[in-house]
Amino acid sequence: MNIDLTGRTALVTGSTAGIGLATAQALAEAGATVVVNGRDEGRVKSTVDKLAESGATVRGVAADVGTEEGADALLVAEPDVDILVNNAGIFAPQDVFEIPDAEWLRFFEVNVLSGIRLARHHTPRMVERGWGRVIFVSSESAVQTPTEMVHYGMTKTAQLAVSRGMAQSVAGTGVTVNSVLPGPTLTPGVEEFIRSLNGADVPFEEAERQFMAKDRPTSLLRRLIRPREVANMITYVASDLASATTGGALRVDGGVATAIIP
């Protein structure tokens, strides 16, 4: 199976680390021109330089897509792309009864509205060209709400509704819209979170094992997913090979979600 994205331009939000960075790398390796995005200009430049060293065709735009102003700035800088990967997002544990209104709104704006704003602009333009891929990076938390992060789970469920609705709206156009549902993934943020649960003296391998056994006991993988494993699915969905896959919620969760289908 050969995935060739030569001639395609892909925008990956939140792509200076974790799943976003792995996705930018994978798309570039498949031949796409990649637009790196993040909030910090220095990190964006560093990521662009790193990818360019490997021969990738890449450019970057520093913009906070969790705000209307940041999303608008990104759209001005990159008005036309063939592949949109809505990856930017935040998470944090907090008791559901202690989450203030402002935090509910912040999570919704960063995790959901960021993707809506970009897809609202790019998807109709993809339809005009007769080809496009819109991918929302959701989570298994969309179908299995985490007790410690209900506000996060809420936003991930919302992404599934938005993705499915948009897919229905562009039926038969050559544009597909899908969600990808990673499970617990070894990103810098997750590593920091797990270390905070176990203390600095516990080796990370042991902390990972304890976390999976205690907090994600339904995992069939029995380890954290690696970002590249998620990026592989996203790259496939972004390709011509996935032309019959649309309106879907595609799991890369290591079997954490116990439902047979999302």
What are the pLDDT digits (tens) for 179-226?
999 999 999 989 998 988 887 789 999 999 999 999 999 999 999 999
1 found inside a domain: no
> Residue 2: which residues within 8 A CB-CB, separation 6 or more?
none
Does 152 participate in catalysis according to the annotation? yes
Instruction: Name the domain count of the chain.
Output: 2
Would residue 171 count as lying in a domain?
A: yes
- CATH number for the domain spanning 84: value is 3.40.50.720
Is 2 a member of any domain? Answer: no
Q: Is residue 101 part of a domain?
A: yes
User: Residue 45: enclosing H or E segment and its boundaries?
Assistant: helix 41-53
Query: 3-state SS of 194-206?
Result: HHHHHCCCCCHHH
pLDDT at 163: 98
Same domain, 194 and 95: no
Side chain identity, residue 128: E
Residue 260 reports pLDDT greater than 90: no
Q: Does residue 111 share a domain with residue 236?
A: yes
Distances (CA, A) of 202 to 140, 158, 168, 216: 27, 36, 48, 19
Q: Which of 189, 250, 184, 229 is nearest to 25 (CA)?
A: 229
pLDDT tens string 62-102: 999 999 999 999 999 999 999 999 999 999 999 999 999 99
Q: What is the pTM of this model?
A: 0.96
Q: Is residue 148 in a domain?
A: yes
Is 85 in the same domain as 120? yes
- Is 258 among the domain residues? no
**91, 107, 136, 152: which one is catalytic?**
152
- Residue 45 scores a pLDDT above 80: yes
Q: Please check whether residues 196 and 139 belong to one and the same domain.
A: no
Q: pLDDT tens digit string along 6-44?
A: 999 999 999 999 999 999 999 999 999 999 999 999 999
Within a domain: 262: no
| Helix residue ranges, H only, 97-256 | 101-108, 114-129, 150-169, 188-198, 204-215, 227-237
Same domain, 117 and 41: yes
Contacts of 188 (CB under 8 A, 6+ apart): 17, 18
Please indicate, yes or no, whether residues 140 and 192 belong to a single structural domain of this protein: no
123 shares its domain with 165: yes
Q: Are residues 164 and 204 in the same domain?
A: no
Domain membership flag for residue 36: yes
- Domain range for 190 is 186-224
Shared-domain flag, residues 48 and 160: yes
What sign does the dihedral 39-41-47-48 (CA atoms) show?
A: positive
Pair 233, 208 in one domain: no
Tokens at 9, concatenated:
């331009």
DSSP helix/strand/coil, 17: coil
What is the crossing angle of helices 41-53 and 18-29, to 10°?
30
One domain for residues 32 and 78: yes
Is 48 found in the same domain as 130? Answer: yes
What's the distance, CA 250 to chain centroid? Answer: 12
pLDDT greater than 80 at residue 128: yes
